[in-house]
A and B are shown apart, each in its own frame.
Chain A
Amino acid sequence: MKFIAVLLIVAMIVPQVADPCSPDAISKVVRGLEELSQSYVNVTSAVRYADEWLKACGEGNYTEAVKAYTNVSEEVMRLSIFRDSSRLGMLLYKALTTLVFVLIPIAIYLLLPRVYLYLWYSSKKRWFVVKRK
């Protein structure tokens, strides 16, 4: 269902851009990529399509540019589904990392004396105690 919705949106957007190499078209795609990137979405695939599209524009290959523009628009649309989950995922990752860093000194404070004592006693458990003369 989501896939059909994405296709419909792309079908509505793509014909509106008469020239796939116009500043408007570039602006729309690059802004989309920036927003996705700021939401921590992995945009590598979309950037690759954008690179192919812009290279086609630079070479004046209009047919290839139209095809590549459709690809990059679809990819941006597809990735926009992951925007919220990626942002939340990154926030959770940072929060968990911070929690681990906060817990490290507390763990050292509580566990280090115990661990040290355990090792100290373990290393000396075969010792004999002899009264000093």
Chain B
Amino acid sequence: MVCGEEKVILDEEVFAVILALAIVASSIGIALTWRPFGERFVAIGLLDESCKIGVYPKTAALNQSLKLCIYVYNHMGKPIAYQVMYKVALNTSQLPTTSAPSVAKPLGKWLGALDNDRDEQFFAFVRIPWDRGLLGRNISLVFELWVFNTTTGSWMYSGVWGHIWVEVVG
């Protein structure tokens, strides 16, 4: 402060900084209020019979029923109708990709509806098909997530799936 200058109780620079912070915070607040919905996606998780990640079956007998837990999550910004399809892939080429479902035929399905930002867990009892040719082979239990598309009026593969490998024993 220069000698003779009028003394200001509230420092002008401090006041300017506080005001600038308030303007920035308000701008962010307004932008967040009117922001469009972010990335839209659905997710599926394959869990063990305790609905946890970890203890998956390594082997399975023919026609044996396995208890697994399926987790589905919706972040599409709207309610969805979903379908989880169970298939058995005999090798890696039969596994689904992010753009195409598995070529194997569906052996089971579970349907449901989920609101936006909601998830669901449910038990799935799946059976290894009775085929002696599978004995001793490693097969993959595949769970694909399909979502109902109201534009086309049909079920559409979402591009996400879960799978575990098991050895078929006698």
Contacts and interface: CB of A to CB of B under 8 A. Distances in A.
Given A105-B19, A113-B10, A113-B15, A50 B79 contact: yes
Given A104-B26, A117-B9, A47 B114 contact: yes
Interface residues of B, number: 34
Given A50-B113, A102-B26, A105-B26, A23 B153 contact: yes
Contact of A47 (B15, B79, B109): B79
Chain B interface, >50% SS class: mixed
Interface residues of A, number: 36
Interface string A89-109: 000001001100110110011
Contacts of A38: 78
Interface string B4-26: 00000110000100110011011
A66 to B, nearest CB: 15
A34 B79 contact: yes
B67 to A, nearest CB: 17
B111 to A, nearest CB: 4
A23 B153 CA distance: 6
A28 to B, nearest CB: 9
Interface stretch (B29-37, B53-61, B126-134): B29-37
Chain A interface, >50% SS class: helix
A122 interface: no
Contacts, number: 96
Nearest to B28: A101
A24 B83 CA distance: 16
Contacts of A30: 79-81, 113, 148, 150
A128 interface: no
A116 interface: yes
A117 B150 contact: no
A108 B20 CA distance: 10
Given A34-B78, A105-B22, A51 B153 contact: no
A104 B9 CA distance: 22
B110 to A, nearest CB: 5
A120 B7 CA distance: 14
A37 B9 contact: no
Contacts of B83: 58
12 contacts: A26-B81, A30-B80, A43-B115, A47-B113, A50-B81, A50-B113, A54-B112, A55-B110, A55-B112, A58-B83, A105-B22, A109-B19
Interface of B: 9-10, 15, 18-19, 22-23, 25-27, 29-30, 33-34, 78-81, 83, 109-116, 118, 120, 148, 150, 153-155
Interface of A: 23-24, 26-27, 29-31, 33-34, 37-38, 43-44, 46-47, 50-51, 53-55, 57-58, 94, 97-98, 101-102, 104-105, 108-109, 112-113, 116-117, 120
